[in-house]
Every structure is written in C-alpha cells, then in structure tokens.
Amino acid sequence: MRIISGSLKGKSIAFLKNKNTRPLKDSVKENIFNILEHSNLFSVKIKKSNILDLYSGIGSFGLECISRGAAKVTFVEKDRGASKILEENLKKLSIIQKAQIINSEIVSVLDNKIKDNFDIFFLDPPFADKQFFKVLSLIRKKKIYKFKHIIIIHRERRTIDDLGDIIEIIDIKKYGRSKIIFGFFK
C-alpha cells in the first residue's frame, strides 16, 4: 500500500492482513479523495481539517489526509495489531505529531474521550457490522461536528443501510465491491 498524493506521495505503508481488518483499496481511496477535492456538492476540504477516522485499521485514509494537509487525524481502532501498525506507519512517515491513536471500542471513545469537533468523519466498519448506526447517532447526539462537515462511509456494495433518519445523503458511489456514502448530519 502507498500514499497516493500530497507531501508523502509514493511512500509505502505497512498493512495487516487478517480476518478482522480490510484495507481500503488504493483505487477506492483515490476516488474518495478526487470527490473530496473536486466536487461542488460540499465545501469541506481536507487541508487544515480535523478528521475522525473510525474503524481506522492501519489508517490508510487518515494517513492520506495528513499527506494532503489535514491539521489532525484522530484514529479509533479496537484491534491492537492494527493500531500497532498504524503507530509504526506514523513514526516511519514522521507525522505522529499530527495524529492521535485511540485503541478502544468506538462507542466508549465517543462517550468518554472525544472532546474535539470534526470537519470530516470517515467510517469503515466491517461489512457485516450494524453497530455503526449507533456510532452515527452518538456523534449526532454529542454534536462533535462542525457546521460544515462531511461524513464518508465505506460499505459493501450490496449492503442496504437505512441512514435517512441519521444523515442527509449527498451522493453514493460504487467501485467494485465497495460502496461509498457521502453525507452530513441533519
């Protein structure tokens, strides 16, 4: 895996292959960033943003954000092995000062440890996971988002998720097995 663009373009990142984590494919990641940078559907930009990367795994999305000028990325991942590789990647790329890693259950983190407001939320839950509905509801309830914000959710292409009560969906893109949902809190 590699960083696609920005100050760290071309740098490789270590990843973990196991049944608990699923790295975001470079092609899907590249499409997400093209939309973030060039779409007129929303005004949130990566540069200088505060980003919450939930179910972050080895953090490929957040690492890419830092490379593209994000102010800070908070990574939340419960898998200890993935968090360890993420920390190694941050050190290897000399960007650990722009990151916070929280190795814990997301709901617990949102209840107790998150005090910032965020511009961009990225959720990449396991495809079978429905807990992320609770996560989205908790973020909305705690109002840890800025007035102008964007939510990006990576799901399996065939998954049917009724998010209409929680977020306003702006766009849905499909790439191979992946579905990317862009929206904001109502």
d(C-alpha 105, C-alpha 76), whole Å: 8
* pLDDT attached to residue 42: 84
Nearest to 52 by CA among 133, 113, 121: 121
Q: Which is the CATH superfamily of the domain at 28-185?
A: Vaccinia Virus protein VP39 (3.40.50.150)
d(C-alpha 186, C-alpha 184), whole Å: 6
Spatial contact of 127 and 155, defined as CB atoms under 8 Å apart: yes
* Rounded mean pLDDT, 88-112: 94
Least confident of 21-35, 79-93, 155-169: 21-35
pLDDT for 172 beyond 90: yes
The pTM score is: 0.94
- H or E segment to which residue 132 belongs: helix 132-142
* pLDDT attached to residue 145: 96
Question: Hey, where are the domains in the chain?
Answer: 28-185
More confident residue, 23 or 178: 178
Neighbour-count burial of 115, counting CB atoms closer than 10 A to its CB (0-12 exposed, 13-18 middle, 19+ buried):
exposed
